[in-house]
Copies of this chain bind each other. A is one copy, B any other.
Amino acid sequence: MQQKDDVYFMNLALEQAKEAASIGEVPVGAVIVCNEKIIARSFNMTERLNDATAHAEMQAFTAAMTAIGGKYLNQCTLYVTLEPCPMCCGAAFWTQIGRIVFGAKDERRIFGNVKELYHPKTVVKGGVMERECSQILKTFFKNKRNRNK
């Protein structure tokens, strides 16, 4: 039986990112885990939903709160392939999520410093499967640039 560690769950988040890429969305995927059980899976859907706020994390938070029937996710871990933006950090704050594990660092960050936005009780770990999570984004944007030439 495969051990369900951070790499295991990040792989599932990466599967979500691949689904996003397959329909032309910026490939960021997320899963939320509670007691080793996945309670939410999602990917970025800003294009499909025509909603600039439909990041993978936002979808995942809402789905997870629905799944557990409560407003707080302090017993849960969010796995997300890209470091959360300020909006998603702010959302994470309100959910009081216990732990956030992200893959790639957000090198394209265009606004805000997220460090002060996390909930003080949220444990944050970055760089899990960083290369794979970063590569899927780089490939996506490279292909996009080539199509636009």
Interface, chain A (partner B; CB < 8 A):
46-47, 50-53, 58, 61-62, 65-66, 69-72, 85-91, 93-96, 111-113, 116-117, 119
Q: Which of A46, A53, A61, A91 has the most CB of B within 10 A?
A: A53
Would you call A90 and B71 a contact (CB within 8 A)? no
Residue from B50, B90, B111 within 8 A of A88 (CB atoms):
B90
Q: How far is the CB of A39 from chain B (nearest CB, A)?
A: 14
Would you call B117 and A86 a contact (CB within 8 A)? yes
Can you list 6 pairs linking A and B with CB atoms under 8 Å apart? A51-B61, A51-B66, A52-B71, A86-B90, A90-B111, A112-B117
Would you call A53 and B95 a contact (CB within 8 A)? yes
Tell me, in angstroms, the Cα distance from A7 to B94 when the chains sit together. 30
Chain B: CB-nearest residue to A87? B90
Residues in B neighbouring A93, C-beta threshold 8 A: 86-87, 111-112
Given contacts A53-B95, A90-B111, 20 further A-B contacts (CB under 8 A): A46-B71, A47-B71, A50-B65, A50-B69, A51-B61, A51-B71, A52-B71, A52-B95, A53-B58, A85-B90, A86-B86, A86-B93, A87-B87, A87-B89, A88-B90, A90-B112, A93-B112, A111-B117, A111-B119, A112-B117
Tell me, in angstroms, the Cα distance from A65 to B91 when the chains sit together. 19
